[in-house]
Amino acid sequence: MTNSFSTQRIDPYTPPAEHLRLQAENPVAQVAWGDGKIWAITKHADVRAMLSDARFSSDRSLPGHPTGRAYVPGSLRQLIEMDPPEHTTARSRIMNEFTVKKIAAMRPRITEIVDETIEAMLAGPSEVDLVDALSLPVPSMVIAELLGVPYEDHSFFQENSAVFVEIDATAEEKAVAIGNLKAYIGKLVAERVDQPGEDILSRQLAAGANPEELTAMGFLLLIAGHETTANMISLSVMTLLDKPELAQQLRDNPSLMPGAVEELLRYFTIAEIGGLRLATEDLEIDGTIIPAGDSVFGLTNTANRDPEVFEDPNRIDFTRGARNHLAFGFGPHQCLGQNLARLELEVVLAAVLRRLPTLRLAVPREQASFKEFGPNYGVYSLPVAW
């Protein structure tokens, strides 16, 4: 029997009711998906098992792969679409750039970016859409920094990155922005071929990346790290404004910040329908056989509220200390940029608490518009005032 599958939520803090029902009643279940069906895996242990087994393939060139994007034969595959051993080789080349130590060295620059963005916000009217004013600009500037985009090109980079996540932008406008960014990153890579510097692109070229692959990688970093981080910034700030006792905990005890970020990542699990995969052979999950050729996804949102793993899972607890959540996925494709995302969130939330002490929601929380229809959960706009 095929189950219905809705992403509708009863409130912004609770995963879709339909997902929670599946976890409670039918944790490995076939659900309606587009014109066909897909296996929804909802328990923490089962999602982990599925994501760590590369026989559940990420290769979207396989016929029937559920990523929902048309694969153009011969086109370049992104890291996120590769299986081992191709994936292992490609990932090991870039992994070095995202270690805790390398990312921690970015803290001073990220702090400057956040301060400048808040400065610009404070210089304008005292009511803004937080998404446009803070949540989207910060991650795009950080990725520009990571890629070594020169300062004078930052606004070009930021304006074009904003278009492809803009709800009102037409498909044509988005295509133009994507074309602009790919061409720009391509130009940046070509410049580094001629004149290597001390940046990530030069190091990747020196490590053997070819310019075309590296351009695709630069673009993937932007796609993967921009809107995701922006959604987490908006939802986290919304939570601190909507639940002042949580903001107070962080003001009283700033050392709670890393734990708070971890808990907010678990709680919102914005990549909620993470891990779209195709079974390449008959595979068993929790006693259910997933036949070869069937599609699956891991509902990390319900996995991260699994009462068998997280005590009182619907409570936000900054002291929980749970790092075994699946907000960044699990297994070979686990988020490459997770240390960077954590750092950005820490710096932004600390700056908001410090520099915007009177910040408040400018509309009742229910009137903010939420991204309910995937693939990532988030907020389209969050009016705030101070």
Structure tokens at 242: 């909507």
Contact residue for ligand HEM among 27, 66, 259, 337 (CB under 6 A): 337
| Single-letter amino acid, residue 49 | A
CA distance 57 to 294: 11
Does residue number 335 form part of the binding site for ligand HEM (CB under 6 A)? yes
Q: What's the DSSP call for residue 243?
A: -
CB of 278 to ligand HEM, least distance (A): 12
Residues 6+ apart with CB under 8 A from 334: 51, 328
Does the footprint of ligand HEM cover residue 341 (CB under 6 A)?
Answer: yes
| Contact (CB, 8 A) for 63 and 275 | no
Residue 357: both structure tokens together: 């002490």
Q: Using alpha carbons only, what angle is made at residue 94 by residues 88 and 95, rounded to the nearest 5 degrees?
A: 75
Nearer to ligand HEM, 91 or 371 (CB): 91
Contact track, ligand HEM, 202-221, x by CB under 6 A: ------------------xx
DSSP string, 298-326: E-HHHHTT-TTTSSSTTS--TT-------
- Nearest approach in angstroms of CB 271 to ligand HEM is 4
Query: Residues 270, 278, 299, 356: which binds ligand HEM (CB under 6 A)?
Result: 270
Residue from 38, 333, 347, 359 binding ligand HEM (CB under 6 A): 333
Q: Name the one range near ligand HEM by CB under 6 A: 14-22, 130-138, 174-182, 226-234.
A: 226-234
Q: Is 229 in the site for ligand HEM (CB under 6 A)?
A: yes
d(CA 375, CA 297): 11
- 327 part of the interface to ligand HEM, by CB under 6 A: yes
Joined together, the tokens standing for residue 214 give: 């590296």
Question: Measured between alpha carbons, how far is residue 327 from residues 50, 77, 204, 350 in Å?
Answer: 15, 24, 27, 21
**Which residue number, 303 or 362, has a Cβ lying nearer to ligand HEM?**
303
Tokens of 344: 């950005």
Which of residues 294 and 346 has its CB atom nearest to ligand HEM in the complex? 346
Contacts with ligand HEM by CB under 6 A lie at 58, 79-80, 91, 143, 220-221, 224-225, 228-229, 232, 270-271, 274-275, 327-329, 333, 335-337, 340-341
